[in-house]
Structure 1
């Protein structure tokens, strides 16, 4: 699907507008909040620079979209700008061969150092700027349902499952929304559990990267698959979990049709776009583990904006990316989709009032030791087939033990492609 967005924009360069008009292409994912972000950023850039036009094209999410990005880069057909993951999945693009380095943009020094390490190639060059805020992986919940049933925010997995049992026994609502038509959404119970993995096995990322530890032989790491299996077998999912979409999951938890929805906090923007009147009916908490004293949030670095090395407009691309990495860029995003978490650009400030679900997330960032990066930011190894594996576990097709073993085989392929020692 293509959204044509022609904006009169150009570089601040003093060049004659008609002679230097250019059209840049952008490849976006298809989520409404991402499209709204690109529309806002390009419109704001337009206001400052009257001679460049933009054409925005959307792509699917999940593995289909991932394959499309790789194919276009390999064939030289990539748009001038595109959104993609930071962290381990970026390394599969071989950024030092395929992407345009941006270390020399003016605002480079304003970008968070921890983030920069996730968008660098083997050559040490930097290739992306953050297009979103930092995100947490956890569970959205329907506040009125919690109030009606007298439920408290769970601090352990057992407490979470007890809440689900109460919802199942006392209401006709689905305790947990799942949305497997968008297969990528099936991964959250595994990925968001990584804070809990680190509490039990602090050196797991290093051992995993060195092929000295695996999901199947590390009980703490296998628990994410076990939690997904447990929730399915308890019958806590919506009846149409196989056909439901990401947007359906958001709607269900916003309206109370379902009481929980495991998801990343970038969904705050989609809630604001699709359900603005129900924003304060939705809260958020981190996925709990087994230790009452170690309750924290798994954190994702934001998706990033990149450019292919062979773009025909490298200077305009760098100028636009520099704008994105500025307070003005942050302000444009905030105005378009609201605040979804902390920005990673120095000088970008959050408004005094933020949605309740964002306020729920901030204490994890404010308290020492209550956040930990997702595994993909501590290891370059992430298997591309996880979403298919978790769909099988969450549908009762595969058990947790065989899923963990299959995922270990999946990551082995990528590790060998990356030439990691020990594989």
Structure 2
């Protein structure tokens, strides 16, 4: 699995087991049919401790409920090596029976119509959100069941600072700027908007976290962007807003003074303690506050990066990974594999997920319920789910993400590069990547 800059945070988010991506091969768990199970199937996941331990817990619970089925755990590396192994195994028919992998564009790169089992008719499909169905489906079928919770790219904020200044959650960009200016004027040195370019990947959230607002205005934008439609470019609205908003926030002096050197860990500390009020960020990073500032966890809320108009404001969601079945799996093994996938997406499977990972956002299936002791910001995200004001991040809808976005947004957010120039640079950056991928129309 390629690890995009926006996903680097996942390996740093301690305790969010389902989000961890990169790893090293190992094997274990399960058993075989000689140990008393009538059918043995294999399950492939990544070999970091978090994913491996969660897989072992899932297998143990499944085998207890299904004593006639044995599941053998297999693992393999992530990164480019893992991507290539996935493609090779699927194309040669040597893939494990059930496997865990990304949803979205990386899933699409596995040629699912030819390599995976169609799960469209399974009963649990009706429990899934439409957004998640879209990122594990092709035009003809649905192939994946979710494993883990979603999380958002939005504005994490300190609720105590907001309460002290009498601020309300903004639903438009102008309201967000007005709140930020009031914090600057009356916040006794509190940084209105935290930025942390010491970790350059964090600079991208003004752009990436705005994408649900783009699709709220242009539902087909991702498809047009992938096809190189001249209108679906970052130099044009509505996508240009992310760059423009970042420049405006810098121009108005709303960032912390040490934004060029602050790290993500330092930024989370500032947010937790109220030294900073608002931080455009991935909600998976709440794990840092859980670990370092546990008494402040419920002081942190989250709201969508606002669009110009409230009607277009939606929260951008990073979808969970999924569990798939190889098309090479047949007969009794296929029946057992389907039972395993269904179990993962049942209330029993959800209990395993809750016991082994701390959700940083809502589940994408009604089969799962967030634990009562989850961070308060999860309820904030759930409210957007309940109102239908969500949209998937672009990386789940298109394979195109230029490698230099974090460098471009650092420059825009530092006043070095104007927003118009930064957007044009990024359009050139993605063009090179699309050509490398061999996409038609580029």
TM range (shorter): 0.7 to 0.9
Contact between 1:37 and 1:337, CA under 8 Å: does it hold in 2? no
Q: 1: distance between equivalents of 2:118 and 2:266?
A: 38
Aligned to 1:359: 379
Aligned to 2:57: 43
Structure 1 residues without counterparts, runs of 5 or longer: 30-34, 60-64
Matched, 1:236 2:254: yes
Aligned to 1:112: 128
2:238 aligned counterpart, secondary structure = helix
- Root-mean-square deviation (Å): 4.3
Aligned to 1:164: 180
Aligned to 1:260: 278
2:280 aligned counterpart, secondary structure = strand
Deviation at residue 286 of structure 1 after TM alignment: 0.9
Which among 186, 196, 204 is matched to residue 213 of structure 2? 196
Q: Go from structure 1 to structure 2 and tell me whether the alpha carbon gap of 1:148 and 1:202 turns closer, same or farther (over 3 Å shift).
A: same
Which among 363, 368, 371 is matched to residue 348 of structure 1? 368
Deviation at residue 189 of structure 1 after TM alignment: 0.9
Aligned to 1:280: 298
Contact between 1:22 and 1:52, CA under 8 Å: does it hold in 2? yes
TM-score by length of 1: 0.75
Contact between 1:24 and 1:52, CA under 8 Å: does it hold in 2? yes
Q: Go from structure 1 to structure 2 and tell me whether the alpha carbon gap of 1:273 and 1:7 turns closer, same or farther (over 3 Å shift).
A: farther
Aligned to 2:191: 174
5 Å matches for 1:114-153? 114=130, 115-120=132-137, 124=140, 128-153=144-169
Q: Go from structure 1 to structure 2 and tell me whether the alpha carbon gap of 1:164 and 1:420 turns closer, same or farther (over 3 Å shift).
A: same
1:236 aligned counterpart, secondary structure = coil
Matched, 1:9 2:25: no
Structure 2 residues without counterparts, runs of 5 or longer: 1-21, 65-69
2:279 aligned counterpart, secondary structure = strand
Contact between 1:268 and 1:339, CA under 8 Å: does it hold in 2? no
Q: 1: distance between equivalents of 2:257 and 2:372?
A: 40
Deviation at residue 154 of structure 1 after TM alignment: 1.8
5 Å matches for 1:311-330? 321-330=341-350
1:140 aligned counterpart, secondary structure = strand
Matched, 1:301 2:322: no
Q: Go from structure 1 to structure 2 and tell me whether the alpha carbon gap of 1:16 and 1:68 turns closer, same or farther (over 3 Å shift).
A: closer
1:137 aligned counterpart, secondary structure = strand
Measured against aligned partners, the alpha-carbon deviations of 1:231-265 in whole angstroms (never above 9, x if no partner) come to 23444334554554444433332222322121233
